[in-house]
Amino acid sequence: MMLKYLTARASHSETPNRGQQGAIASSSSWLTSLALGLVVGLGGFLPQAARAAEGPESAPASLVQTIDQIDTAANQRDLKALMQFYGPKFNHADGLNRQRYEQAVREFWERYSTLNYDTELLSWEQNGDILTAETLTTITGTQTVGEHNFQLTATVKSRQQFDGQRMIRQEILSEKSSLSAGDKPPTVEVRLPETVSVGQRYNLDAIVQEPLGEDVLLGAALEERVRPDAYFKADKLDLVPLTAGGIFREGSAPNVPDNYWITTALVRSDGMTFSTQRLQVQGRGGPVKQPR
């Protein structure tokens, strides 16, 4: 499963103190779409005639079992077992081929001391020899950076296509993640649409739920285009003091359909929270153009 992995690297050894301004280098948009995907052995339990998408309750037992086996391989970090389900010409809609996808998974696993995957089948559809399955994967994990222990929570909705027993294509339909550290990391409510039209204006609100009291809140926001290279690098988030209890921005979607990671960072003396969500910019009357 692939997620743009969140790798937070504080540029200070401690959580910023009141009034302190600084930068945090973070793969914030880096939560990954390591949406481990389904790996389904079709092996004859599905009819070959085209059929409409069906709910999980009608899914063959073999399909449900296979999903469990995929989660098991991911939870055991058995990369060889996982990648056997990906065809040699596998391509990810974010522009990753099989080799770069494997590299992204490996690097994601190396960054987290614990990870747990739990995948739910949402729907499945048969069209000739091709099976399409939509899944929702929840990923939790822990990562230690310096003196900080980060807690990861992410959900990734994805669509997979299979030919025979191999996955040939995967795309991320929606993606949200949170990475937090500290004694009392801010509880953050992010309000951001999942899809907007080209040129459309939209609001980004990242609201801290707890009262700030005398504490100083630092924050930053970052927009990054989804592309293969972004899975393997980290950018800096320059923190500035905030006069309100969160980040409130108005944005304008580009004039070309694409996918973006929108990341917010909110930091106070007793904790920090990074939140990342995928934003799809769709053409008017047409689907989003996936990066190649």
* CA–CA distance, 216 with 275 (Å, rounded to integer): 19
Reported confidence tier of residue 228, pLDDT bands at 50, 70, 90: confident
* CA–CA distance, 263 with 191 (Å, rounded to integer): 12
Q: Which two tokens stand for residue 79?
A: 């990369």
Mean pLDDT score across all residues of the chain: 81
Q: Which two tokens stand for residue 166?
A: 């191999």
Give the three-state DSSP class for 290.
coil
How large is the average pLDDT for residues 111-135?
Answer: 91
Among candidates 37, 51, 121, which has minimal Cα distance to 84? 37
Q: Which two tokens stand for residue 83?
A: 């990648």
Max mean pLDDT range (166-175, 225-234, 277-286): 166-175
DSSP 8-class letter at 187: P
* CA–CA distance, 273 with 286 (Å, rounded to integer): 35
Mention every residue, 6+ apart, whose C-beta is less than 8 A from residue 23.
Answer: 11, 236, 237, 238, 239
Residue recorded with tokens 């929840």: 138
Report residue 111: phi and psi, to 5°: -85, -15
Among candidates 185, 138, 188, 187, which has minimal Cα distance to 158? 138
- Say if strands 218-225 and 166-181 run parallel, antiparallel, or are unpaired: unpaired
268-289 burial by CB neighbour count: b if 16+ within 10 A, else e? Answer: bbebbbbbbbbbbbbeeeeebb
Residue recorded with tokens 């009262």: 211
* Centroid of chain to Cα 259: 12
* CA–CA distance, 179 with 261 (Å, rounded to integer): 15
What's the first-to-final CA gap in the chain, in angstroms?
19
pLDDT in tens, 1-54: 434 433 333 333 334 443 344 444 444 333 444 444 333 333 333 334 445 678
228 φ/ψ sector (left φ>0, alpha ψ -120 to 50, else beta): alpha
Mention every residue, 6+ apart, whose C-beta is less than 8 A from residue 185.
Answer: 151, 270, 271, 272, 273
Residue recorded with tokens 């927009």: 223
pLDDT in tens, 165-210: 778 999 999 999 999 999 999 999 999 999 999 999 999 999 999 9
* CA–CA distance, 282 with 111 (Å, rounded to integer): 33
Q: H helices of 12-78, where?
A: 61-75
DSSP 8-class letter at 39: -
* CA–CA distance, 247 with 163 (Å, rounded to integer): 45
Is the CATH number of domain 3-282 3.10.450.50?
yes
Task: State pTM to two decimals.
Answer: 0.81
In the prediction, which pLDDT does 19 show?
A: 39
